[in-house]
Copies of this chain bind each other. A is one copy, B any other.
Amino acid sequence: MSLLTFDNPVFGYYAVAAALMIIKMMSQGWITVFRMIKVNGGYRYQEDARRSPANPRPSPEQLLPNEYVERSRRMHGNDVENIPLFLVAGLLYVCTAPSNVTAFCIFFIYILSRFAHFYVVLTARPHEVRASFWTVGSVAIYFMAGTVLWTALRP
């Protein structure tokens, strides 16, 4: 019997977690857009420093890296390295038929760790805090991948 239906509460928890992470990662692109508008620069395409309705006074300096914009790009890069792994590891973890409580906790911890990581990078908190939250998310993914391996390989 398939566990990948909304009749399965664990799939429901996963679906909520996955949708929130998808919305979070998609929104990081918009944060980069808003930051580029705010500083009127940090562009990477040469055509963006040409005159256009959205850029009536172009200048070559608009193509220089801007730390405020680059920070959002690095956050996006961190999402790209982590969130797709959660999305698939979580789906396969649902197929291992975990208990409702364990599954809820692991998804909840993952989401919390990512939103905390987001806040900590956004506000440039010390490296140790950022690393801690990243580690929590990382351990959650190892746990889910390990459970999948165990379920597939047990005799």
Task: Give A contacts to B, CB under 8 Å.
Answer: 1-6, 11-13, 15-16, 18-20, 22-23, 25-26, 28-30, 33, 43-48, 50, 52-55, 67, 71, 74, 76, 79-82, 84-85, 87-89, 91-92, 95-96, 121, 124-128, 130-131, 134, 138, 141-142, 145-146, 148-149, 151-153
27 A-B interface contacts by CB (under 8 A): A1-B2, A2-B4, A5-B95, A6-B96, A15-B149, A16-B149, A16-B153, A19-B92, A19-B152, A20-B149, A22-B88, A23-B145, A25-B81, A25-B85, A26-B82, A26-B138, A26-B141, A26-B142, A29-B138, A33-B131, A43-B127, A45-B74, A52-B128, A54-B127, A54-B131, A87-B88, A88-B88
Main secondary structure of the interface of A (DSSP, over half): helix
Q: Using A15-B148, A88-B88 as known contacts, list a sample of 6 further A-B pairs with CB atoms less than 8 Å apart, ordered by residue number in A.
A: A15-B149, A19-B149, A26-B85, A45-B127, A52-B126, A52-B128
A40 and B27 CA atoms in complex are apart in Å by: 33
Give, as a whole number of angstroms, the nearest-CB distance from A60 to chain B.
14
A4–B95 CB distance below 8 A? yes
Residues of B within 8 A of A134 (CB): 29
Give, as a whole number of angstroms, the nearest-CB distance from A154 to chain B.
10
